[in-house]
């Protein structure tokens, strides 16, 4: 049986790398792909949690960025609270809540991540962590304010859950983090460089 040459192996590795790059484009958006901090949980369904610190005070020390987390699940009664708590347990996202029970359930007091942190106080600055339900259509996520707490929101496949600290009735919606898709020419140049390196190693062997 003919053994694979080093160039053949390099070609396979290059193709695998291109496939890996493509696999990151799990959610196509109008300006690129959804920029995920990670994919957590296990299951055949996936929901996306977007936490936007853009409504934080201008005096906040963090970058006031927006972050997205993917959550995989199977159980049909999985709630947004279930997903969020599992993401927290598997990542560096920090969360503080108050459990009011009933339909409201867990209310979010604080989110902290990557230097961003916000603990709005409705009695002081008229802000609180608003919860949104999003639907992806034509590359854009359309947001609607949720009337329920995260404990009463049942996850659906490919749905978005958004969070932004702001005043009641504010018009802003969570900003969805986007990564630009690498140009095909850039991937091609990467492959040519990889194959050239393999060929040089073969000649020097």
pLDDT in tens, 130-144: 999 999 999 999 999
Q: How many Cα atoms sit within 13 Å of 80 on the Cβ side?
A: 27
Residues 107 and 138 in one domain: yes
Would you say residue 197 has pLDDT above 70? no
Question: Do residues 132 and 96 lie in contact, with contact meaning Cβ atoms separated by under 8 Å?
Answer: no
Q: 158 CB contacts (<8 Å, ≥6 apart)?
A: 45, 46, 47, 48, 136
Can you read off the two tokens belonging to residue 136?
């992806």
Would you say residue 203 has pLDDT above 90? no
- Chain mean position to CA 113: 13
Can you read off the two tokens belonging to residue 18?
């291109």
Can you read off the two tokens belonging to residue 128?
């609180």
**Mean pLDDT score of the chain, rounded to an integer?**
82
What does pTM read for this prediction?
A: 0.77
Residues 126 and 193 in one domain: no
Residues 17 and 38 in one domain: no
Q: How many domains does the chain have?
A: 2
Residues 152 and 192 in one domain: no
| Residue in 49, 29, 64 with CA at minimum distance from that of residue 180 | 29
Residues 110 and 205 in one domain: no
Provide the sign of the torsion angle of the four alpha carbons 153, 158, 164, 170, taken in this order: negative
49-53 mean pLDDT: 97
Can you read off the two tokens belonging to residue 107?
């209310």
Residues 185 and 175 in one domain: no
- E runs forming strands in 89-139: 94-99, 106-113, 116-118, 127-137
Range of the domain at 123: 27-179
């Amino acid at each position: 049986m003919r053994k694979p040459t080093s160039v053949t192996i390099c070609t396979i590795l290059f193709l695998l790398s291109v496939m890996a790059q493509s696999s990151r484009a799990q959610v196509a958006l109008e300006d690129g792909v959804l920029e995920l901090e990670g994919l957590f949980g296990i299951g055949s369904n996936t929901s996306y949690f977007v936490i936007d610190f853009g409504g934080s005070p201008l005096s906040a020390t963090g970058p006031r960025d927006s972050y997205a987390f993917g959550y995989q699940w199977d159980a049909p009664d999985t709630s947004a609270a279930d997903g969020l708590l599992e993401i927290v347990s598997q990542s560096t996202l920090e969360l503080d809540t108050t459990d009011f029970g009933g339909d409201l359930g867990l209310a979010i007091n604080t989110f902290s991540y990557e230097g961003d942190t916000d603990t709005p106080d409705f009695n002081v600055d008229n802000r609180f962590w608003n919860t949104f339900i999003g639907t992806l259509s034509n590359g854009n996520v359309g947001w609607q304010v949720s009337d329920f707490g995260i404990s009463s929101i049942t996850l659906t496949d490919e749905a978005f859950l958004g969070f932004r600290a702001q005043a009641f009735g504010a018009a802003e919606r969570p900003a969805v983090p986007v990564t630009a898709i690498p140009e095909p020419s850039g991937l091609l140049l990467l492959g040519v460089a990889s194959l050239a390196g393999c060929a040089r190693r073969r000649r020097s062997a």
